[in-house]
């Protein structure tokens, strides 16, 4: 009986340790994501509020991208694939630095919104996105329902959105843009809940191994996933509800 009590006490202590570690891990994920968001919007505002700086990437009147603007537009997508391919070769510090560089480049790619939309409109949509993101992420973290099956469906949806968006760069269809924005909000809302649960489950599954370097890099990848969900949901909502200048 005493041996059973010892085992039960040990298991309880281990569970408490994992729970404490999970909270610290999630706090780091959200903290890293938040710093990235601040960098993105700081760069976007600095460039977008300056016609001289914005003209380096886009026509100041039509906001059509020039060659450098096209490069900046697609750079975040290329960097995401490069980051995923190189994550195993990077240190945790290197992965974090890469993430912050990526966040700054993303700021350059969306800087045009500060010329296309009113400042109040951007702030309102940002607040709406933040509230929706927080609710969806909280649900993904606390729900007992296994939503891992959503992953393949949502990823297919993202691929479809990317393809449709690239096509629409050439045909400029307002109807297609509207459809992409509506579907994009739904897809990235689902991904927010899915990724949050996946980050939680990944930590729990690997915490016992004690590989802090791996967990640190997994946290940065998690922060990147949630960051991308927020940014994309924000841009889709801004397209739907933003007031243009």
**CA-wise closest residue to 49 among 118, 128, 123:** 118
Token representation of residue 92: 């945790």
Cα–Cα distance measured from residue 218 to residue 206, given in angstroms and rounded to the nearest whole number: 10
Total residues belonging to the chain: 245
On average, the pLDDT of the chain sits at: 89
pLDDT tens per residue, range 51-96: 999 999 998 888 899 999 999 999 999 999 999 888 888 898 999 9
Give bridge partners of residue 65 from the DSSP assignment. 58
Instruction: Provide CB contacts within 8 A for 15, sequence distance 6+.
Output: none
Kindly indicate the confidence band of residue 4, based on its pLDDT and cuts at 50, 70 and 90.
very low
Does residue 8 have a pLDDT over 70?
Answer: no
pLDDT tens per residue, range 134-155: 999 999 999 999 998 898 899 9
Kindly indicate the confidence band of residue 11, based on its pLDDT and cuts at 50, 70 and 90.
very low
Cα 233 to chain centroid, rounded: 9
Cα 178 to chain centroid, rounded: 21
Task: Find the mean pLDDT for residues 112-124.
Answer: 94
Higher-pLDDT residue of 6 and 111 is 111
Cα–Cα distance measured from residue 227 to residue 224, given in angstroms and rounded to the nearest whole number: 5
Does residue 13 have a pLDDT over 60?
Answer: no
The reply to whether the predicted model has a pTM over 0.75 is: yes
Task: Work out how many domains the chain is built from and give that number.
Answer: 1
DSSP code for 58: B
**CA-wise closest residue to 70 among 170, 164, 163, 160:** 170
Q: What is the pLDDT of residue 7?
A: 44
Q: Give residue 103's domain range.
A: 2-241
């Amino acid at each position: 009986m005493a041996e059973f009590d010892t085992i039960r006490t040990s298991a309880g202590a281990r569970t408490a340790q994992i729970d404490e570690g999970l909270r610290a891990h999630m706090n780091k994920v959200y903290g890293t994501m938040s710093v990235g968001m601040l960098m993105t919007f700081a760069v976007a505002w600095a460039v977008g509020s300056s016609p001289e700086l914005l003209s380096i990437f886009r026509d100041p009147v039509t906001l059509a991208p020039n060659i450098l603007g096209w490069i900046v537009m697609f750079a975040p997508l290329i960097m995401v694939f490069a980051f995923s391919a190189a994550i195993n070769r990077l240190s945790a510090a290197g992965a974090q630095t890469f993430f912050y560089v990526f966040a700054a480049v993303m700021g350059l790619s969306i800087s045009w919104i500060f010329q296309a939309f009113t400042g109040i409109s951007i702030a309102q949509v940002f607040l709406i996105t933040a509230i929706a993101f927080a609710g969806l992420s909280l649900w993904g973290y606390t729900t007992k329902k296994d939503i891992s099956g959503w992953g393949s469906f949502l990823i297919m949806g993202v691929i479809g959105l990317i393809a449709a968006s690239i096509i629409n760069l050439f045909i400029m269809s307002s109807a297609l843009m509207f459809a992409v924005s509506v579907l994009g909000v739904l897809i990235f809302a689902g991904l927010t809940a899915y990724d949050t649960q996946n980050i939680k489950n990944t930590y729990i599954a690997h915490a016992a191994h004690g590989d802090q370097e791996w967990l640190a890099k997994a946290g940065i990848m998690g922060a990147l996933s949630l960051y991308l969900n927020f940014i994309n949901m924000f841009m889709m909502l801004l397209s739907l509800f933003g007031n243009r200048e």
